[in-house]
Amino acid sequence: MPKTQSELDTWAERAHANDEYYEIIDSMHRKFKMCLGIADRDGPYVDMLIEAAEKGSDKAVSLFWQLGDVELVDELKLKDVPRDEQVSRRQAFITTKYRLAHKVALQGGESSMLKLISGFQHLDPQTGGQDYVKSLAFAYFFVEVVSNSDVFGRVEWTIRDLEGKMSPEEITQANELTRDFLAQHRAL
C-alpha cells in the first residue's frame, strides 16, 4: 500500500502501463484516501481494518475482503517465508475475513451479509468447500434484517437460485440457521 501521494502516483503509473483493470486502480485510490484519515499510517493497515471490523465497521469488513494477493503478500510478509507457512497464513487470513464478516453481519452490516452470501457459495473456510446452506441462511437473514437496499432484488434472485440447487433438507437447515442468526441479532 503506498504511504505517500508520490508512491501512489508511481504505483498508478505502473498500473496504467501494465493495463491494470480500472477497478483495481480505483480501489487503491479509495483505500489510500481512507488511510489518509488514519493517524498512524505507518502501522500495518490490515491490523487497522481488523480492529475497525472488531468494533463493528461494515466498511472495514468490505475493505478487508477487497485485499488482493499482492497486498496480502506485502501485509502478511509472505515473500520470504516457506510455502507451508504462506499457505498457513493465508488460511488464517481467510478464516479471519469470514469471522469478522459474520460478526458484523449479525450486527446488521449489509455489506458483510452480501460478502458472506457470495463467499459461502465458493468457500467455507471450516470445510474447504462450498456451503450453500450458510449462503442461503445469510440471504434469508438479509431479507429479514435489511429494510431498504438497492441490491434487494439481487439477493432475492440468489435465494431462488440457491433453493433450486438445494434439497428440501438443506433448505430447512438454512431456515434453522437463519432463525439462529435472527436470535443473535436481536440479542445484540
Per residue in 2-19, pLDDT (tens digit) is: 777 788 778 788 878 888
Q: Which three cell numbers stand for residue 40?
A: 498512524
pTM beyond 0.85, yes or no: no
Q: Which three cell numbers stand for residue 119?
A: 463467499
Same domain, 81 and 35: no
Same domain, 70 and 155: yes
Same domain, 94 and 182: yes
State which residues form the domain around 161: 44-187
Same domain, 29 and 83: no
Per residue in 62-107, pLDDT (tens digit) is: 988 988 777 777 777 778 889 898 888 889 889 999 999 999 999 9
Same domain, 73 and 99: yes
Q: How far is it, in rounded angstroms, from Cα 111 to Cα 101? A: 8
